[in-house]
Amino acid sequence: MKEDEIRRLVKIVEDSNIGQLEISRWGKTIKISKSPHDSNTYHNSTMHTGVNPIATVPPAAVPPAIPTAEPKAVEEKSKADGKIVDINAPMVGTFYRSPAPDADPYVEVNQTIKKGQVICIIEAMKLMNEIESEFDGRIVEAFVENGQPVEYNQSLFRIEQS
């Protein structure tokens, strides 16, 4: 199968509601699947041939995002009853509410926190990164569950500043 045909199939999978497509032709099988969490990416695209090793088919070229300004770890929002801010993930990784599975969470909803206090951990590339509050205030809302993957700049907590 030619590269342009493979790219066309990848585009079909990306634009449709199907999660996986597998096609066999002339003893070769192409399997394209996308992640259930993000419709713009897929886990694995491979081409299998008889006894040849697996060759990875690259995803369609997507230009990298160009930051327009210096990234912010905190996005401010104003409400009539006070100053509300979101603390966002400074990196991609796995979110943890506590330092160990059997330990108490760093923070709970309605808990008062101080600037510099550790509020969670994000594991990235086998490194545990403590995320600290940049504000004094009270936790109003927690957006992420323990053990969930987080994206860069995804809201983790909403804080009412004191």
Residues contacting 52, CB < 8 A, separation 6+: none
- Give the residue-averaged pLDDT of 44-64: 45
pLDDT at residue 47 above 90? no
Does residue 42 lie within any of the structural domains?
Answer: yes
Q: Which of 31-40, 92-101, 104-113, 119-128 has the lowest mean pLDDT?
A: 31-40
- Give the residue-averaged pLDDT of 74-94: 71
- 78, 147: one domain: yes
3 against 107, higher pLDDT = 107
pLDDT at residue 143 above 80? yes
Rounded Cα gap, residues 148 and 62, in angstroms: 26
Distances (CA, A) of 157 to 6, 14, 15, 123, 131: 42, 31, 32, 17, 11
Rounded Cα gap, residues 150 and 44, in angstroms: 20
User: Of 93, 69, 96, which is closest to residue 151 (Cα–Cα)?
Assistant: 93
Does residue 151 lie within any of the structural domains?
Answer: yes
The answer, as to whether pTM is greater than 0.85, is: no
- 26, 89: one domain: no
Q: Which domain holds residue 9?
A: 3-56
